[in-house]
Structure 1
Amino acid sequence: MNKLCQHDGLCITMDARINLHGFICFCKEGYQGELCQHQNEDETTRMTSNSLNDPQIIDDEQEDDEKLSDQDNNKSLSSLTSDSSNECPFNHDIASKVSTAFAKATGIDMEFAIQLLKDHGWNIDQALKATYEAKEHAQSIMNTKQNWKDTNEKYFKILSWNTDTTDSDEVELNNLIEKRTETIIEILLREKPDVILLQQVGTFALTLIITCLSSLYDDESIQIDSSNDSNYVSIFTHKSTIKKKHVSMIKNSENWNMLKVEIEYKNSISIDLFNAFIDENTYSYCFEQINKNNPNHIILFGISSQISDTFWNSHTINLDDLWQMTDQRPETTYTFDPELNSNITGNDKPERYDRIFFRSSTSINNQLKPVHMELEGIQHIKTSDIVFPSTHWAIQGYFDVDN
């Protein structure tokens, strides 16, 4: 039986155990029970939730959450100090002492201490500066988030997230995807947004998410493209605030698909939800289709992509960018951030790959006004001080409701 931890309130701390790349979260309260299992439906291009009992979640075992062993640390040191691309100026013994002292002084994991020193040419001053800048950046995000947690009841809330949980043929990777998905579910149940838009969701992850959210949310999911039958985009709508009116799929000649769900919020506001994974080839067609939408309906469009800022800046669209509409705060700029997210490998630069677009309706009444945007998914999964729920941060937007 898989184990999963659910908690309505997270205690997020910046104590001595904090990792350079994120936060440690602790359960405020535990829940005991069995996790129900969801059976796949026969349809290959659409998955919807059945009427299931509310699953109860049980705490995962903490014994898996262990530090690297001395043997692993020595192995990491041996590998990094012998890297010809950035050779360590110290012998193995001195490098070990420097790394150990640096990790202890900064309160970060040994593995990250070694990598950080290596990235900065074993210059302790530069590595320290990078460490504290990362912590300050993380703290600024959390300070802003907490202010909105205290007052968000009156707002319409939407969350968009590239979960990066596409199925794998590797058993170990699938096990990790399962653990990451469990944390994603915890965050969704904690935040309880009115609308959830998920991109790049694998079959196993989607089944688990649908199962655990079925008591609170209706869902619609389609495959991103016909060539990959385990890569979905999904739209979840909260049953208590939203009535689903119509569901459709928009596709082009290259088998690229976009999901559209027409909803009514609190029996008064008509909203059309769009969700897609796009690239430069599907960009134009995607926005052409959205621009044909009923002008009397509000549009909310969640996308994930690998499109650079340069491309976005050179093209004009008739939709407002939520980040730009909410003061363009620096701490919420990047959703794909190799400097803070240790799930990302390689030397990529930070990018704003994930966005929520918005268009008001022509109606004078019943409008949504964007007032705030924050990042979610910035804490580690419960069984690791290294792994995050996804390679992407989630975007969560708040809208004031004008009736």
Structure 2
Amino acid sequence: MTVRSGHKQRLVFWGLIAVGLLVVSWLVRTNQRVLWDFRNNLWAPAHLLWQGNSPYQIQSLFPNSNAVWFPPVISFFLLLGALPKAPASMLWMVSNVLVLFVLIGLAAGKRPLPLRLAFALLASFLFFPTVTHLRLGQFSLMMTLCLLLAAHFLQAGSAAGAGLNLALVLAKPQLLILVLPGLFQGAWQRAGWRGVWRLALWSGAFVLLLLLPLFVRYPGWLPDFRLALHHNPSWLQPSLWQLLPRWWGWPGWLVAGLALLLALVANVLIWRRLPLTEAMAWSLALTPLVTPYVWSWDFVLLLPLFLQSLFRVRSKPALLALVVGYGLGWGTAVAVALTTDGSNHLYWWLSWQIAATIVVAHLLEQRNRKFHE
């Protein structure tokens, strides 16, 4: 690389970084310091519990509202409930942005190419699910990081570290449909049934520990939690399990079930053949495609695999596939947002399109390697 081309790359890199920071600044300014899902599902329950009230009766604070995140996350972030709503919301927003930077850093490694790093930053923050996630104050980014850490700890032989992260992500059990079997398969492959029991016991111990503040501060929280789940409104979601039966009738159920079955089989093979941290990235990416309960902001689970692919591919066709595929997905998502009412289920295709982009890039990379062998 010449000095001149290196200088141009640095200019492009810092230019893209500046654009990314402007996007983050816009997100922070426009969230009005009150993030809807964070307010209802975390701050309000934590605030009520901090005051010794039922964490799942948030109607006392916000009429016609409901809290449905599972209790471990409320206990873990209980101190946020001691803060007023506005600073707590801003702290949550900043924390999610930092988590996204960490996810990019984990995928990038020690010495990433500047242009790829710049594109990774820009693509991650402009990803439509990321924008929605940050504006709502969702938990899926933190959940993604926790699951990657769980795989890392398990690979390092620390069932306790894996168990803590696994207990925390029980806030959204519907997104564990592939990663939970994968983690226990990984534990079994490394240490047999002893590894499985250690992971289960540590996870259970941390779940009980995280439930303790709820029983201490308000022992009668459990009936309110069940009632909150029962009263959770039914929305049309970007899930095969909702859309295919709606479009095709009973054959739609068969197709959705077959997709889940194939994903479970693929998941077993993935965890058998890949290092645990890489297997986790694949399981995360497959989850939004086949889980029965999912929202478009949960598509951020695809980011680790997309970013890993972006930094690891060496062939130009594979890299071009990732960039063009992302661009097509982003442009189509913009078109959907501008030409429709933006209902969440209208973005169902995005997870499949990004997943297909990643698969095509990997196939092109393998073809290039075989060609040069």
**TM, length-normalised to structure 2:** 0.27
> As a proportion of its length, which structure holds more strand?
1
> As a proportion of its length, which structure holds more helix?
2
